[in-house]
Amino acid sequence: MPQMQTGKRICLGAIGLASLLAMAIPGHAEPPALAVAALDYIDTSGEVRDQQADHARRLKNFADALRSDLAANGTFRIVSLDCPAAGCAASVTPPDELIAAAGKAGAAYVVLGGVHKTSTLVQWGKIEILDVARQKVVFDRLLTFRGDDDTSWQRAEAFVVRDILQNAAFK
């Protein structure tokens, strides 16, 4: 019977040591959780053709691709926000409610922003990442992109992801 006790202690000790080693080895820590809030869209281009459905689809695809591409890299773990019916876009959600939703989701960071179409060919994008605990903006980019088709939106999203991953010193 005493040998079993010793065996159990050795086994538990080995498990504990393995756990400590796993935590100490770089790359084994869980990446910070990041939520991507719904993005805003404004069109002041004055174009005659109604493109609301196309813009809504492209904006949703942009946000979905941000989530997917940032998760695929492994730098961030993506979490979902539980939003009211109006959504979690910064334009319709008071900052304290957005921060509370991000905290409730377990997000360390939340991506905010949107796109503003100013003319037939030019769109502006604003992307910010907020540190939820410190309630401080830790990433802030203003970008422009030409065109208003799926390809131009995909290129803009790929640029944003590269920029976040290259400049994610805030992790």
| Rounded Cα gap, residues 78 and 31, in angstroms | 9
Q: How far apart are CA 28 and CA 18, in angstroms?
A: 12
Q: What angle do CA 34, 40, 43 make, to 5 degrees?
A: 150
Q: Could you give the CA distance from residue 164 to residue 67 in angstroms, rounded to a whole number?
A: 12
Q: For the residues 70-89, what does the mean pLDDT come to?
A: 85
- Give 23's pLDDT tier (boundaries 50, 70, 90): very low
Q: Which of 43-57, 73-87, 132-146 has the lowest mean pLDDT?
A: 73-87
Structure token pair of residue 159: 């640029």
**Average pLDDT of the residues in 69-80:** 93
pLDDT over threshold 70, residue 56: yes
Spell out the domain ranges in the chain.
Answer: 1-30, 31-166
- Give the model confidence (pLDDT) of 144-162 as tens digits: 999 999 999 999 999 999 9
31-166: which CATH topology? Answer: Rossmann fold (3.40.50)
Report pLDDT digits (tens) over 93-134: 888 888 899 999 999 999 999 999 999 899 999 999 999 999
